[in-house]
Every structure is written in C-alpha cells, then in structure tokens.
C-alpha cells in the first residue's frame, strides 16, 4: 500500500481541472517520472507558487469537482511522482477519482461542512495528515490544533488500494 501520511498542500478552489494539474503540452512524455517538474504549473491561486509550495507535500486538500476535464491519468501520476498519494475533497470528477484508485492512490470525499472547517482551521498553517486506512480515519494536525475525520470507501476502491491498483487486481480476478 502507498504512503498516505505527511504535509498537506491546500488548494482553495473548486473545479480544479486536469489541464491545471498537468498541462497538455507535457502529455508528450512517455514516462511518469518526466511529469515531475510540471505539477500544477498552470494553476493560478493567490499566493501559490508551484515550485515552492509543492515541495515535501504528501497530500492535497481541495474543494469540489476536483480533477474535472480531461481523462489524462497524467494528473494522478504527476502527484504520485511528487510523492503525493492522497487527495481529499468535497467530491471528484469521475475519471480522476477512478484514476486515483486505479493507481492505488487515495481520493477521499468529505462533506462540504468538513472541508469548510478544515480550510478555516488548518489552511495557512503547516498541517500534517495521517491516515488510518483500516479504521477509515484521517487525522489532521497543525501547531496547537488536531482533528479527526471518519471517511468511507466502497469495497472495490478499498480493494484497489490494497492490491496496489487495478492492473494487479484485474490480473488476479479477470
């Protein structure tokens, strides 16, 4: 199973699309590793500097409809090769969410109220995430603040995480 623990990158906007996560001009690469320098290159958010703010981050927290647009799996791959294996959001575009689990990565949906609360309490602070996969709980911690959020996964999505992705799962089952 991949590592889902570490520092959080907050992306405070809904509808962050796959072109913003990894622009099409980099889709000419034929290895995942080659995408590493370009993650979120076209995402314009106040104060956000991709090259500076992505460093050492292990998780992303954003708002609704995360990963909308293209089917490009280059979007989760660009996170993966930067060491980010988990995205937490109010909800996801279908293909992006499926791509995450297909890669053995975690896409967790929390309620609008919970996401709002997280942005109010933690965004702007150095925040760490730890994931208890078995108990389906997320723990957030920053200086002086702690919170725990239960989450749910479908049985299939959980099996993909455990199997390390859809190719390995499908090879055994189909």
**DSSP 8-state code for residue 42:** T
Comparing CA positions, the residue from 107, 109, 96 lying closest to residue 67 is 96
Chain position carrying tokens 């689990």 = 101
71 belongs to the binding site for other proteins (CB under 8 A): yes
- In angstroms, what is the minimal distance from the CB of 61 to other proteins? 18
Residues 6+ apart with CB under 8 A from 54: 9, 39, 40, 82, 84
65 belongs to the binding site for other proteins (CB under 8 A): yes
Indicate the residue among 42 and 114 with the shorter CB distance to other proteins: 42
Indicate the residue among 58 and 63 with the shorter CB distance to other proteins: 63
Q: What is the 3-state secondary structure (H, E, C) of 73-87?
A: CHHHHHHHCCCCCEE
Stated as kind and residue range, the H or E segment containing 98 is: helix 94-102
Total residues contacting other proteins (rule CB under 8 A)? 44
The whole-angstrom distance between residue 98's C-alpha and the CA centroid of its chain comes to 12
Q: How many CB atoms lie within 10 A of CB 135?
A: 10
Q: Which of positions 73-132 make contact with other proteins (CB under 8 A)?
A: 73, 76, 91-95, 98-99, 102-103
6 belongs to the binding site for other proteins (CB under 8 A): no
Which of 12, 42, 121, 132 forms a contact with other proteins (CB under 8 A)? Answer: 42
Which of 2, 5, 36, 69 forms a contact with other proteins (CB under 8 A)? Answer: 69
Interface positions with other proteins (CB under 8 A): 15, 17, 19-20, 23-25, 27-32, 42, 44, 64-65, 68-73, 76, 91-95, 98-99, 102-103, 154-156, 159, 165-167, 170-171, 173-174
């Amino acid at each position: 199973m991949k590592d889902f623990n570490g520092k959080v990158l907050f992306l405070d906007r809904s509808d962050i699309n796959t072109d913003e996560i990894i622009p099409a001009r980099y889709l000419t690469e034929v290895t995942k590793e080659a995408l590493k320098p370009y993650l979120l290159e076209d995402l314009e958010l106040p104060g956000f500097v991709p090259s500076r703010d992505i460093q050492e981050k292990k998780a992303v927290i954003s708002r609704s409809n995360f990963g909308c647009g293209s089917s490009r799996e280059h979007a989760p791959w660009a996170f993966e090769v930067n060491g980010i294996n988990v995205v937490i959001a109010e909800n996801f575009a279908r293909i992006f969410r499926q791509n995450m689990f297909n890669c053995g990565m975690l896409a967790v949906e929390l309620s609008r109220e919970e996401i709002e609360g997280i942005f109010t309490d933690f965004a702007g602070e150095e925040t760490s995430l730890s994931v208890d996969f078995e108990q389906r709980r997320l723990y957030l911690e920053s200086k002086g603040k702690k919170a725990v959020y239960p989450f749910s996964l479908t049985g299939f999505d959980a099996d993909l995480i455990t199997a390390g992705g859809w190719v390995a799962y499908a090879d055994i089952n189909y």
